[in-house]
Structure 1
Amino acid sequence: MDRTGFGSVGAISNIKNPIMVSLSLLDAQVKGSLSLGRIVPCMLVGEGAKKWAIENNFEEVSEESMKTESMVKTHRHYKQKLDNFHQNNLVQESAKNKSENEALLDTVGAVCVDRDGNLASAVSSGGILLKHPGRVGHASEHFLDKNS
């Protein structure tokens, strides 16, 4: 996001550096319209985001290449907890473990202001464990107001 607009992708899988796909949307907006006068989208999600990425030469990677041994182990741990929760309907355990669950949020971001006051920001919330298919996370909420 910068003062001229924003580009955003969500629920995109198996694309290396998806935040760069967002930048490509922003760059395309600055360049103007698509063929036949179509307007460049500001946000794409799911298969539309993946199609844009592939059409714009972003690397598609296998799901396996994105896994580490540590993350597989962590996934198993929390998947077991989720299965136990659903199996036992442990609503009270959910409240008890709230602080542990909050540590699972994975939104990261950066904001830059240059000496001329030009503003740019980027956020990403990919990779969270056990996310719902099609999830667009907290990153979608993080917009920066120039007057803030």
Structure 2
Amino acid sequence: MVLVAVHTGAGNIVNEENYKILCKKAATRGFDVLNSDDKSVIDAVETAIKCLENSGQTNAGYGSNLTFNGTIECEAGLMDNHGNFGSCACVNNLKNPISLARKICEKQSNLLNFGRVPPILVVGNGASQLAQEFGIETVDEKDLISEKAQITYNHYRRKITKYEHANLVRISPLDTVGAIAIDSHGNIASGCSSGGIILKLSGRVGQTAIYGAGCWSQKTDNQSLGAVTTGNGEYLIKTLFAREICSSLINCDLPSMRLYEVFKDKFLNSPFLPKNQEKYGGCLAVDYNCLENRGDLLFAHTTKTLCLGYKSSNQKFAKFITSSLPDYSQAGYNVIVGGISF
């Protein structure tokens, strides 16, 4: 069994048809890579996310949200099922931040010279320098700012200026893109990439780059698990939500129900989060039984919508799903959960 699944962030849909085309394209590209002889689940995740980063339609890579100061600060993270994790943050000249996260992840198994421990998270200028050492493509920051991102920034910046002494401006929670890939041996990897929430403070790092918060992958003799999260980064960090999702699914007979419970108990009602505040979050998860060669592709969100695409060896073409909360007025308080067996 081979599967690649992607999502384009929890939040509002601007143009569903565009997201449909993009999700299917990214899932297909990742699947085709994974289906070739010499490629791995990490290759598939990187390929799928690079497709999303390059599109200009998502908040990742080209087209990322701008900071309050009007600059680009991207982040990305990637994890394999051996416990290796790599991430970068606050980078403004990488066309594909996920490629640097992948390289950092791969270097976790080997010490640096003089016995130094390799980094897990690299930020700012240090991340850009490391990317150049790895031969990863760098660009001018202005080449990462799409027309859509600039228009969105100008819109909200004017609102902030007009209402800076009143709490009247609401910012969209549209956030991270993510991907999960699993191969016929049960090897699994997950990754995510983001430009961060619109008008974020310069230097702010979201869940994408934080171990256990943005993505998680693990494998035992009989089960492979992966999760990628999206939404309010600070809340996802406080709850280490990607790891929490996978931990809850270990040896679980009813994964959809368990996912609903973990959103309720560990996110909406978490003792680590403020009460009576909107908690926007979403996830894509995979629960695979290695012995029976079957699994479940799961998704959940508390936002208005979540768009995802996937392709498996059981399908001729990639499929697309738009999940929406039935009561938009309760977004941030209710949870919708779905799943597909593969």
Q: TM-score, normalised by structure 2?
A: 0.38
d(CA) in 1 for partners of 2:136, 2:197: 22
Are 1:125 and 1:138, in contact at CA under 8 Å, matched by a contact in 2?
Answer: no
Letter in 1 for 2:106: D
Counterpart of 1:135, as a letter, is R
Question: Which residue matches 1:10?
Answer: 89
| Equivalent position of 1:64 in the other structure | 142
Distance in 2 separating the partners of 1:116 and 1:108: 25
| Per-residue deviation, 1:25 | 0.6
Q: Are 1:112 and 2:184 counterparts?
A: no
Measure how far apart 1:7 and its partner are. 0.6
Is 1:20 paired with 2:99? yes
- Structure with the largest fraction of strand: 2
**1:131 alignment partner in structure 2:** 200
Secondary structure of the residue aligned to 2:216 is: coil
CA distance in 2, matches of 1:26, 1:85: 43
Contact 2:86 2:104 survives alignment (8 Å): yes
Q: What is residue 90 of structure 1 aligned with on the other side?
A: 166
Structure with the bigger percentage of helix:
1
User: Within the alignment, does 1:77 sit opposite 2:155 as a pair?
Assistant: yes
Contact map agreement 2:95 2:144 (CA 8 A) in 1: no
| Contact 1:109–1:124 (CA under 8 A) maintained in structure 2 | yes
Q: State the TM-score, normalizing by the size of structure 1.
A: 0.81
Counterpart pick for 1:142 among 203, 214, 226: 214
Structure 1 runs (4+) deviating above 3 angstroms are none
Q: Would you say the 8 A contact 2:191–2:215 is kept in 1? A: no
CA distance in 2, matches of 1:3, 1:82: 43
